[in-house]
Amino acid sequence: MGSFLNVVIIRLKNGDSIFKKRSHCLFCARKLTWKELIPIFSFLFQKRRCLGCRKKISWQYPLVEFFTGLIFVLIVWKFFELSLLGIAVSCFLFFVSCFLIIIFVYDLKYYLVADQVIYPAIIAVSIWYLVFSIFFKFYTKNDLLNAVYGAAIVGGLFLAIVLLSKEKWMGWGDVKIAVLIGLLLGPQKTLLALFLAFLSGAIVSIVLIVLKKKKIKSELPFGPFLVSATFISIFWGYIILNWYLNLFL
């Protein structure tokens, strides 16, 4: 799955078809053999080079493959149950995770949030909540309201920042990611995700400035921090919130 997400990320930018073209080298256009398509291992055995033109292959490929596998394992570990509902929840999280991984890498690589990814993700999460509340009664009315509140609160906050700063502090893509996160997590875990995203973003920015990799006015994509914080909130959100609340009890 991680290998396929790499294809999506690259071809979205180039405008190429995701399904019609076979995998090929981006430098020499040579079609890849099955030996070159084994996730992670092909990259290592080929010593990070195309077997044809010998150009270096990006680290993006094995990293996306590795972390996609890791996230899928965490989903099974935390949420999988041997029941129809348990399987459905796991499959939904697999599906959403794919969107989030694409958003992470695409924004990190191109400083853009692709509408072809973010809008289907928002629609998919909305349909999930509606179907599993109306037909399966898995979610209550309060669960639906929490999803709407989460999207409205964080989306409204980011929208205000964009309008007040005239897109200098944050872009429209971040507003769309915020709506997705709010729908997915609800108010409590969304606030946690925002805190973690702003904290990690500030720390990384300071480190890059100290190392002279960035200047104070340099741009830094915020999407990867939002996505990382979302995954932390999905897997350990309630544990972190309970720990925090217990500090005051």
pLDDT one digit per residue (tens) for the chain, 249 residues: 999 999 999 888 877 778 777 888 878 888 888 888 888 998 899 888 888 898 898 899 999 999 999 999 999 999 998 888 889 999 999 999 999 999 999 999 999 999 999 999 999 999 998 888 877 777 778 888 888 888 998 899 899 999 998 878 788 899 999 999 999 998 889 999 999 999 999 999 999 988 888 887 778 889 999 999 999 999 999 899 888 888 876
Q: Are 230 and 185 in contact (CB under 8 A)?
A: yes
Q: State how far the alpha carbon of 133 is from the alpha carbons of 81, 123, 140, in Å.
A: 19, 15, 6
Q: Where are the domains of the chain?
A: 1-63, 80-246
